Amino acid sequence: MTRTFEEINEKLGTGKAVVLTAEELIDLVAQEGEAAAFAKVDVVTTGTFGPMCSSGAFLNFGHSDPPIRMEKLTINNVEAYGGLAAVDTYLGATQPSSDRGDNYGGAHVIEDLIAGKPITLHATGKGTDCYPLREVNRTMTLAELNQAYLYNPRNVYQNYGAAANSSERTLHTYMGTLLPELGNVTYSTAGELSPLLKDPGLRTIGMGTRIFFGGTVGYVGWEGTQNTYHQEDAPDGGTRVWGGTLALTGDMKAMDPRYVRGGTFQKYGSTLYVGAGFPIPVLDEELLHDLARPNDKLSTRVFDYSVPSRNRPDFGLVSYAQLRSGSITINGKSVPTAPLSSLSRAREIAQVLKGWLLQGKFPLTAPVVPTPKSPFGPMAD
C-alpha cells in the first residue's frame, strides 16, 4: 500500500489526516507495531534548532535621494557585501563586528532585525552619474526595508559528527569549547527529531519543499553547499546516512526571533541558531520504518578535533541515545556529553508544525527537483 502527496493533502484539507511528531510516532510503533501505525498516520513532523554557521540574509534598503551605489557598507559595524546592485547586500552570520569582535556579528544583526530593533547602516560609494551620492548613514528597522530574507547556503546537516579533544590543551571550535584529555563531547544533531535522519533516502525532501523556517513558512531552495550523501548498512539491518545538507530560504519579515537567534562560541566567533521543521508524508511502510527509528537506532561518529586535518580520526560510533544519556565511554573513560542544539526547542517546532498541518494551513509540496544523493553530484535533470 502506498500514498501520494495529493491524497494526503486532500485529507489535510478536510481535517481527516492524522499527524504525529517523530517522537509520538516512535511511541505509537512501540505500542502497536509498524503496520498498525502506517494504517493510522499520514504525516510525521520533525524539528531542529541549532547553530548553523552557513547562514545569512539578503537585504534591500531602498534608494536614497539622491541615490547611491553602496560599495562598502556596515550594519551595526558589521561588514556586509557590497558587490551586488546599488542597494542590495548579503550579510553573513559569522562576520564579526569591528567594535565588539566575536561578541557580536552578522547573526546578531539578523536577530535584531527580526526582533524589530533599529539597526544603523553606513555605506559609501565612489559616486557615478546615475548614483551621485557618496555616503549614507541611516537608522532603520526591518519594516522599512524593501525586502529581507534569509538565504542559508548550508543548513540542517543530515548527521553531523560529535566532537572530542584528546590533546593536552583546551580547544575553541565551532563545536564549542572542547576540554583537554577527552574532558567532554559535544554534538549538534536532533537525533530522532532530525529532519534528514527521518527521511534518510531524501525521498520527500528537495527543491521546493515547504518547511517551518524561523517561525514562518520557508522553502528548500537548493541542495546545500558541501552536500555529500553517503550511506552504509547499520548493524540492525537499517541504513546509516551522512552528509546531506540543504539551502533554506524564508521571509525575515514574517519570522519570530524565538526561532532565529544570534550566538557566540568562545574564542571562535558568531553563529546563527536556526529553527527548522520538515513535514514528512508517510508514503509507504518503508518510509514509516525510517521515521520510527528511535535514538538508540541512530548513530554518529565522535571525531578527535585535536588533529588539524579535514580527515580527523574518530573514536567510533555512538548512538544518540548514548549521547543524550549525559556520558559515553571513550577508551575506557567516561566522558560527559553536551548538546549544542536545543531538544526542547526542536520538540516545540515539531509541535507547532503539527498544529499548522492539522489546521489545514500547510499543504505539503513534493520536491520540484530531488536532492542529489551522489557525492558532490549535480541536481537531477
Query: How far is 37 from 185, CA to CA, in rounded Å?
Result: 35
Digit-coded pLDDT (tens) for 262-273: 999 999 999 999
Q: Are strands 96-97 and 48-51 parallel, antiparallel or unpaired?
A: unpaired
Digit-coded pLDDT (tens) for 17-57: 999 999 999 999 999 999 999 999 999 999 999 999 999 99
Type of residue numbered 66: P
130 catalytically annotated: yes
pTM, two decimals, is 0.95
Q: What angle do CA 339, 226, 305 make, to 5 degrees?
A: 45
**236, pLDDT greater than 80:** no
Q: Are strands 56-60 and 88-92 parallel, antiparallel or unpaired?
A: antiparallel
The three three-digit cell numbers of residue 24, written as one number: 509520538
| H or E segment to which residue 276 belongs | strand 269-277
The band of 377, judged by pLDDT with boundaries at 50, 70 and 90, is: very low
- Lowest-pLDDT choice from 115-124, 180-189, 194-203, 232-241: 232-241
User: Cα separations (Å) of 23 from 28, 29, 194, 322, 340?
Assistant: 9, 10, 11, 17, 20
The dihedral formed by the CA atoms of 278, 114, 221 and 350, expressed in degrees to the nearest 10 = 0
Mean pLDDT for 171-184 is: 98
What percent of the chain stands above pLDDT 70?
A: 97
Q: What is the number of alpha carbons within 13 Å of residue 82 lying toward its C-beta?
A: 16
The confidence score (pLDDT) of residue 242 equals 86
The three three-digit cell numbers of residue 207, written as one number: 527543491
Domain ranges of the chain: 5-52+151-365, 62-145
Query: How far is 340 from 335, CA to CA, in rounded Å?
Result: 16
The confidence score (pLDDT) of residue 173 equals 97
Mean pLDDT for 108-133 is: 98
The three three-digit cell numbers of residue 46, written as one number: 520533525
Q: What distance lies between CA 347 and its chain's CA centroid?
A: 14
The confidence score (pLDDT) of residue 380 equals 35
Query: How far is 252 from 273, CA to CA, in rounded Å?
Result: 14
Q: Which residues contact 34 (CB under 8 A, 6 or more apart)?
A: 285, 288, 289, 292
**378, pLDDT greater than 60:** no
Catalytic residue among 1, 85, 130, 143: 130
| Secondary structure of residue 351 in the 3-state scheme | helix
The confidence score (pLDDT) of residue 232 equals 80
